[in-house]
Amino acid sequence: MKVVVIGAGVAGLATANRLRTLGLDVLILEANAYPGGKLTAFEQAGYRFDAGPSLFTMPDFLDDVFRFCKKDPRDYYVYRKLDVACHYFYDDGTFLCGYADASNFALEVENKLGVSMEVVVGYLRNSEKLYETTGRIFLEKPLNRVSTWLSKPVVKALTYIPRMGLFQSLNKFNEVRLSHQKLVQLFNRYATYNGSDPYRAPSILSTIPNLEFNVGTFLPEGGMHTIINALVKLTADQGITIQYNTPVEEILVKGNKVYGVRTGKEEIQADLVVSNMDVYYTYRKLLPYQSAPERKLKQERSSSALIFYWGIKHTFPQLDLHNIFFSADYRKEFDTIFQEKTIPEDPTVYINITSKYVKADAPEGCENWFVMINVPPDEGQDWNDLIVKARLNIKRKLSRLLNIDIDSFIENESILDPRLIQSRTQSFQGSLYGTSSNSRYAAFLRHHNDSVIKNLYFCGGSVHPGGGIPLCLQSARIVANHIENTLH
């Protein structure tokens, strides 16, 4: 059987390799001249930057792709476990070191905030239990299959959900269980891991801290782009062709069954098609004559990002690989993003500095700053004006909290905004994770991995189970399982 995979992002590459191992003939068509989708890298004046995702958790999900293909993942990439997950800076000058070890972090919170260690330890134990009993359902199983809901683990999990208060918002859940507003804010931020608002997103997102504090935070040797390099090498070793600069113009359907794709140059026959393209554009651009699932496509989009890539001719020992500078009013920040559809004057600022661990990523005595804030998706805002104001507000905030003039150290800069994210990655409105999770039903309304059109499948961050590297890899696994089951 011949398969065409549309898009060489993380999920597309992982899906292609799994299907090749199942014995299928696979061709990947990529619109860009390079692989990776959002997970790319670039250099500017001696500084190297990972352009997209900067956090690596659940490495077993990536290792599983290689093992499924009967390869040793360590032959393709290596990684280290970090002792520190993140440095947290609050507007009043409070600093917390987010040790990756749960006990060490709990002690830090007790020393800095006066909150008993047991509060944090208990929260993280609950996060782990919740992940194991309910989180795995959403991450590893197709939610549109009856077999998923009739299995014993799922029935058990459903009885567990009401006792956990999972019909609350993440913020309400955290306010009940955590006794300090700074701690609530810290754990509320995990809603941003899928581009959502903690004051509306469901508390099932309280499972995410388990991945950082109980499982761990990691860094691939050489930076995040190593993940793509490893998958591309696996693809070559498996004899799969990636055809670059080849945008697909239409998925060909006859009698409600896929029979191939059409590019600008030719029609390519295929028994199966897997789209790693944003599901919104898959329907709007590639399936113009097919009925679209309008309710799913009209869901609220996730947040986007405004990123400044700064070459900094200075070093900051108080900063680590991951750093968060919180806003003073978190609720106002999210209301501004999701209700007012603009950039807050006081945004939470995330700084990723890979040169802390990968010395070659910056010249000696310098650092490569990936500076990101959450912003609304592109709905026609005046981004040029917003970017100028945001840049000024970010520099003022960082200069105040670091007690030094940041502007004088910026020697070069690149910018990524929602418009560029949309044009480079075909992500509708530049949203990073497809749809948001700003309702308790969001997980069920996210587009599933198969289709009413026979032999058409979907993978990637815009479909089930969601965005981010681990979930994209899980979508690939679910698609491969679907297809393997149809082959038997």
In the chain, domain spans: 2-39+60-66+221-298+435-487, 120-209
- CB atoms near residue 259 (< 10 Å): 16
Residue whose token pair is 């009856």: 146
Asked whether the beta carbons of 455 and 256 are under 8 A apart, the reply is no
Rounded (10°) angle between helices 225-237 and 59-68? 10
Asked whether the beta carbons of 188 and 123 are under 8 A apart, the reply is no
CA distance 6 to 458: 9
> Mapped to the 3 state alphabet, what secondary structure does the chain carry?
CEEEEECCEHHHHHHHHHHHHCCCEEEEECCCCCCECCCCEEEECCEEEECCCCCECCHHHHHHHHHHCCCCHHHCCCEEECCEEEEEECCCCCEEEEECCHHHHHHHHHHHHCCCHHHHHHHHHHHHHHHHHHHHHHHHCCCCCHHHHHCHHHHHHHHHCHHHCCCCEHHHHHHHHCCCHHHHHHHHHHHHHHCCCCCCCEHHHHHHHHHHHHHCCEEECCCCHHHHHHHHHHHHHCCCEEECCCCEEEEEEECCEEEEEEECCCEEECCEEEECCCHHHHHHHHCCCCCCCHHHHCCCECCEEEEEEEEECCCCCCCCCEEEECCCCHHHHHHHHHCCCCCCCCCCEEEECHHHCCHHHCCCCCEEEEEEEEECCCCCCCHHHHHHHHHHHHHHHHHHHHCCCCHHHEEEEEEECHHHHHHHHCCHHHCCCCECCCCCCHHHHCCCCECCCECEEECCCCCCCCCCHHHHHHHHHHHHHHHHHHHC
Instruction: Show the tokens assigned to 14.
Output: 């992982």
pTM of the model: 0.94
Which of 11, 8, 53, 32 lies closest to 350 in space, CA to CA?
53
CA distance 257 to 272: 9
Asked whether the beta carbons of 30 and 425 are under 8 A apart, the reply is no
User: What's residue 280's pLDDT?
Assistant: 96
| Neighbour-count burial for 444-481, b at 16+ CB within 10 Å, e otherwise | ebbbbbbbebebbbbbbbbbbbbbbbbbbbbbbbbbbe
Which of 292, 339, 319, 261 lies closest to 29 in space, CA to CA?
261
User: What's residue 151's pLDDT?
Assistant: 60
User: What's residue 487's pLDDT?
Assistant: 86
CA distance 474 to 459: 9
What architecture is domain 2-39+60-66+221-298+435-487?
3-Layer(bba) Sandwich (3.50)
Read off the pLDDT of residues 261-300 as tens digits, 9 standing for 90 and up: 999 999 999 999 999 999 999 999 999 999 999 999 999 9
User: What's residue 446's pLDDT?
Assistant: 86
User: What's residue 312's pLDDT?
Assistant: 98
Asked whether the beta carbons of 341 and 381 are under 8 A apart, the reply is yes
User: What's residue 134's pLDDT?
Assistant: 74
Handedness of CA 410, 219, 187, 183 (dihedral sign): negative
Neighbouring residues of 242: CB distance < 8 A, sequence distance ≥ 6: 8, 28, 30, 35, 232, 235
- Residues with pLDDT less than 50, the chain: none
Asked whether the beta carbons of 340 and 331 are under 8 A apart, the reply is no
